[in-house]
Structure 1
């Protein structure tokens, strides 16, 4: 799907414009539409309650990493709303308050709408400070300003997503963050959509926000242990230079990131199965190499490339 940056500039919504306008334009650019749906159509995110060998403090092995409420709360749902040859829509209905355990309601709803060929991506987020819990039947943002009309729970305006939700601060490498919390279900959806990991890390990725269209990722000009990660993974910078280049790197090795004290430490999930006999000491050296290029991308060993935008 061919879309020019000129067209994007001309339809970026202001705070006075509605989510419906934004959604209808996103449907055109992403090449796929979002309709009404039910959270109950998603798959429940399994929580592994058996403690791991490190006896970490949280009661599960794959906590949510949002830093909200109970990170091991059960009952959240992840779903593939729709897909076609070019695009995919994924939704998540989150529960993070213990009071949601058995009431059939949700604390938060979010959607990712992505064209895997052009890279065009739009986010949708329910009210970050809702006045009530959210029932499972969700109104499409192209048809209503409200996630739930009865309780007057709105979809956040795009300007608020940029200022407060800051989606790209986590969704930096590509649209989908495959943490241990959702990894298995997410990868199953993407396989059904014939959207491979290689497609994700090599494809274009951009959003209809000018501030978010200059994402770059770290590579290495000279030999470095960091290449053991960047040969397979895209490690991207974002405007705040956090999460992917900082917190997520530490978390992948099971290390606590002290800049986010409210986020639980999780089991190491990279490298898989201790590939190449990689010790924790060597892994920490790799992590330090990558972080050094994140912090000083003009360093002599570093190369920072744009996440190519197709136009």
Structure 2
């Protein structure tokens, strides 16, 4: 396909999305992007293929080939809607674009099997966070129901008014903030702006983290994005990071403690100890050692997560993620 034809196809794919962006009430993408640039930090343009690949392995080895709905050692935790090749789809990439106090974690997700260096991706997300003031912004791009993917060889800054010739605009690429807000990212990212999983943990050195820092979601559409942090006296689970009171309660704490069925796409290795007990990070304890160190702490946290925990004196709740509208 020629370069001109690729650009034409890309512009047609984004046409409906651009109309939605123009008709959405509240802050526009450019307004939100500029607020985030001013209060959190500038996001540069980038090429998804410049990122670090998140490995997909089977029995700790890269398989000879990938196929639809295969199983693997560390599948993606996010459920993929159809069409998809499944949670073991290879060649998603993470990029750390941080500078000074500004942390920028860009994630380019593949939901369909394509060549490693294909310019086409199925989702792009940015978590923008400032460690000095805690302000955090969220940017999301995808096309639900499309197996075609979209060109992410130049991901535009969310506040870019005019792209270079031949490239997609920010307004056409990114969802408007009101649409991104419907994803309710804070329900999973309830403890901090970035969340650990065994999948992303393979490239955790490429992910900027601020586990104890202030956490303020700015922008009109994100003013309701709040969470509480949970703690109990002497709890070993909160030694390295906070525990949030949303999906950390009903998914991540029990999943990391081997109390839930492994996520879809898990192979035998993923379903057995130690990979099904993935906290602490790089767990190298025996099962007996893990139980002795963590079972009581997990039990206490899950008590605090329950209705009973609201009145339990050992359960402590403190504000964590805060919401702040424009200019906050």
Normalised by the length of structure 2, the TM-score is 0.71
**Where do 1:261-280 residues align within 5 Å?**
264=266, 267=275, 268-271=277-280, 272-274=283-285, 277-280=288-291
**Residue in structure 1 matching 2:253, options 249, 253, 256:** 249
Unaligned runs of 5+ in 1: 1-13
Q: Equivalent residue of 1:28, what SS? A: helix
Unaligned runs of 5+ in 2: 1-23, 62-68
Cα 1:308–1:37 change in 2 (3 A) is: closer
Match of 2:243 in 1: 235
Task: Work out whether 1:129 is the aligned partner of 2:133.
Answer: no
Q: Equivalent residue of 1:159, what SS? A: helix
Task: Work out whether 1:45 is the aligned partner of 2:58.
Answer: no
**Residue in structure 2 matching 1:65, options 55, 77, 93:** 77
* Offset at residue 93 of structure 1 (A): 0.7
Task: Work out whether 1:176 is the aligned partner of 2:210.
Answer: no
Cα 1:256–1:49 change in 2 (3 A) is: same
Distance (whole Å) between structure 2 residues aligned to residue 156 and residue 254 of structure 1:
36
Distance (whole Å) between structure 1 residues aligned to residue 102 and residue 251 of structure 2:
29
**Residue in structure 1 matching 2:301, options 290, 295, 302:** 290
Cα 1:302–1:275 change in 2 (3 A) is: farther
Q: For the Cα contact (< 8 Å) 1:107–1:133, is it kept in 2?
A: yes
Match of 1:10 in 2: none
Distance (whole Å) between structure 2 residues aligned to residue 289 and residue 113 of structure 1:
32
Match of 2:318 in 1: 305
Q: Equivalent residue of 1:211, what SS? A: coil
Cα 1:257–1:158 change in 2 (3 A) is: farther
Task: Work out whether 1:74 is the aligned partner of 2:76.
Answer: no
Q: How big is the alpha-carbon RMSD for the aligned residues of Structure 1 and Structure 2?
A: 3.2
Q: For the Cα contact (< 8 Å) 1:218–1:303, is it kept in 2?
A: yes
Q: Equivalent residue of 2:33, what SS? A: helix
Q: Equivalent residue of 1:233, what SS? A: coil
Q: Equivalent residue of 2:303, what SS? A: helix
Q: Equivalent residue of 2:74, what SS? A: coil
Match of 1:113 in 2: 128
Structure with higher Rg: it is: 2
Superposed CA offset, 1:135-181 (max 9, x none):
122122111599x739x954112222222x11111111111112121
Q: For the Cα contact (< 8 Å) 1:66–1:263, is it kept in 2?
A: no
Superposed CA offset, 1:180-215 (max 9, x none):
21224232453xxxx6xxxx2321111012212x42
115-124 or 279-288, which deviates more: 279-288
How many residues are matched? Answer: 270
